[in-house]
Amino acid sequence: MKDVNVKTKSEAASPKLNNSITKILINNLVPIIFCIFCVAGMYYANISTKFLINSIIERMARNSFLVLSLIIPVIAGMGLNFGIVMGAMAGQIALVAITYWDIQGLGGFLLAAVISVPIAVLFGWLTGLVMNRAKGNEMITGMILGFFANGLYQLLFLFVLGGIIPMKNERMMLSSGIGIRNSIDLKGIKYAFDNLIKIKAGGLVIPVFTLIVVALLCIFMKFFLKTKLGQEFRSIGQDIHIAQISGINVDKTRILAIIISTVLAAWGQLIFLQNIGTLNTYGSHGQVGTFAVASLLIGGASVTKATIGQGLLGTFLFHMLFIISPLAGKSLLGDPQVGEYFRVFVAYGIIGVTLGVHAWQQQRQAMEKLKE
């Protein structure tokens, strides 16, 4: 009789276990698919292990900060902050300033980080004000604001500098004396951050200090979200109306979330560009929002939920695909450009699918409420 009972309990537990496994697979479907893509790509790319590890370490170091800057607005219920492009612009404005003043090395990098803060705070505050007027449509609002800000950014660098604000620097200015060149050499601060602590061993180059800073950001965010302000972000993200009833100043808190995200994005762009060593004046910020958002989504995040682990995993998978896809495209079809097209398709495709699923979920929830 005891054996029968045990068997019955086991049979009862089996469907629950199967449902649990199915739920885990569904929730992590995107990362699983990209893991399969990466493994298949590595097979066809015929890439050396040392090159792959070096490349992924470098990309993780220079891109993780930007991706992690997206997390707080998601937690605060504001969706994926495409407006981080304005944080990138703030960082680039600071870089143009220190390059013009010819302040080099770590001092120049740190000064750029300081200069970028008030600019990013201003941009974040203005963005937050607009997003509070567009509750429920923050993502598309952030994207359009990015396009609008890009117009003002180009006006500043093409007309104002040298035309209204006097600037004389042959290395930076166009031949007419008005406007900044398309490309600015950042050799003065190249690797200024990465080289503080760098380990070279067995053919691997590891920017230890940059990785430590990324780890510190992860720790900061983990503890920050446990503070009163962090809990207010969570409350607003879960239900904005209940948060208001609880006495939380929702509009002010949402603006703070965007400001923090914008400042982090400015610093992330500085880390990114000091590793690249060149500033594409009118293009470096262009894909920041798209690629950072894609990385976060590939890690398993959604419009309403994002974690540090998902941000790091997504950065790893997305940039792994960036490294191997051109080589795999060349191996399979004889043209590395196919890999370039594929990864751009992936970046926009994953964002489109996620936004579509989010819209479908909202409609489903609305229908369920109507039935009740």
- Flag the least confident range among 141-155, 192-206, 355-369: 355-369
Query: What is the pLDDT confidence band of residue 39, given thresholds at 50, 70 and 90?
Result: confident
Q: How many CB atoms lie within 10 A of CB 234?
A: 14
Most confident of 9-13, 167-171, 196-200: 196-200
Alpha helices in 28-165 (DSSP H): 29-45, 49-68, 71-75, 84-100, 105-132, 138-155, 161-163
Average the pLDDT over each of 100-109, 127-136, 320-329 and give the range with the smallest value: 320-329
Angle made by CA atoms 226, 228, 229, in degrees to the nearest 5:
95
User: Which helix (DSSP H) or strand (DSSP E) does residue 333 occupy?
Assistant: helix 308-333
Tens digit of each residue's pLDDT (9 = 90 or more) over 311-367: 999 899 888 888 887 777 777 776 666 666 766 776 677 777 766 766 666 676 667
Asked if residue 59 lies in contact with residue 317, where contact means CB atoms within 8 angstroms, the answer is no
Quote the pLDDT of residue 291: 84
pLDDT at residue 16 tops 50:
yes
H-helix or E-strand spanning residue 3: helix 2-27
- Comparing C-alpha atoms, which of 28, 56, 66 is closest to residue 265? 66
CA distances from 203 to 52, 83, 228, 322 (A): 12, 38, 46, 21
What distance in Å separates the CA atoms of residue 272 and residue 217, rounded to the nearest whole number?
15
Q: Which residue has the tokens 């300081």?
A: 114
CA 66 – CA 295 distance, rounded (Å): 10
**Is the pLDDT score of 6 beyond 60?**
no
- Give the pair of three-digit tokens for residue 35: 């893991």
pLDDT at 296 over 70: yes
State the virtual CA torsion across 110, 115, 119, 120 in degrees, nearest 10: 10
What one-character DSSP code corresponds to residue 301?
A: -
Q: pTM for the full model? A: 0.87
Tokens 């470096």 — which residue? Answer: 284
Nearest of 73, 261, 92, 86 to residue 184 by alpha carbon: 92
3-state SS of 143-188?
HHHHHHHHHHHHHHHHHHHHHCECCCCCCCECCCCCCECCEEECCC
Q: Please state the rounded mean pLDDT for residues 275-303.
A: 85
Q: Which distant-in-sequence residues (6+ apart) come within 8 Å of 228 by Cβ?
A: none
